[in-house]
Amino acid sequence: MIRNNINQMLPPGITDANLEIFADGTKLMATFNGAIMIFEQLPDSIKSAFEKLLDADKIALKYLSKEYSTKEEMLYQYVWCNFGGWNMKPDLDKETTTKEYWDCGCRGKCKAEGIICNMPFRFRPRELEFISLCSKDLADKQIADKMKISNNTATTYRQNITKKLGSVSSKVGIAVFAIENNLPASRCLPKPPVA
């Protein structure tokens, strides 16, 4: 039997030593070591890599220590906010962690936005709505109609968003950004699980 060499893009952690964290409902999950597991089942060495990040982030640590009573709860929330998006890119790759921008469903209304989470871009709620509509392949007029704004206002949103993203110069680029960053999601900040 002849078999061609097929290289498919698989999620990190399925066939390699990487890790992808993702939110599923109100649970924090991971692909790791060929399996999907809940965050709490990850080896201590993996959780330790995330703990080092949290410990180094003095602003997030100060905020979380006021909101949560245990280090486990603080770590869970920190990881949720910074790594919870499913983007097919490893969140942990040989001790290197990569924070991601993702829409947890609370963008624009979370009191901890930019304090705990990775916020390379500060999008307003209406800008997130515009980004969402760009990813649905709608014409400019359709976006303006759905948002109940003028075409000129829609153009201003597009210009502001592309300016914030820097390397993006079109609605297609905005849509690619949205898809790559799993925007928008329909999830909100969960309560960490009670042990």
List pLDDT tens digits, range 46-68. 999 999 999 999 999 999 999 99
Ordered by start, the domain boundaries in the chain are: 8-120, 125-180
Model pTM score: 0.69
Q: Which residues contact 19 (CB under 8 A, 6 or more apart)?
A: 12, 13, 30, 31, 32, 42, 46, 90, 91, 92, 93
Maximum mean pLDDT: which of 13-27, 66-80, 110-124, 128-142: 66-80
In angstroms, rounded to a whole number, what is the distance separating the alpha carbons of residues 36 and 89? 15
Other beta carbons less than 10 A from residue 68's beta carbon: 17
DSSP assigned state of 54: H
Portion of the chain with pLDDT greater than 90, in percent: 44
pLDDT of residue 95: 65
Going by pLDDT thresholds of 50, 70 and 90, the confidence category of residue 185 is very low
Instruction: Confirm or reject CATH 3.40.1160.10 for domain 125-180, answering yes or no.
Output: no
Cα Rg for the chain, rounded, in angstroms? 19
Indicate the pLDDT class of residue 120, thresholds 50, 70 and 90: low
Name the DSSP class of 184: S
The most confident of the ranges 7-16, 90-99, 154-163 is: 154-163
Give tens-digit pLDDT for 16-45.
889 999 999 899 999 999 999 999 999 999
Q: Which residues make Cβ contacts (< 8 Å) with residue 47, sequence separation at least 6?
A: 75
Which of 100, 89, 95, 98 is CA-nearest to residue 45? Answer: 95
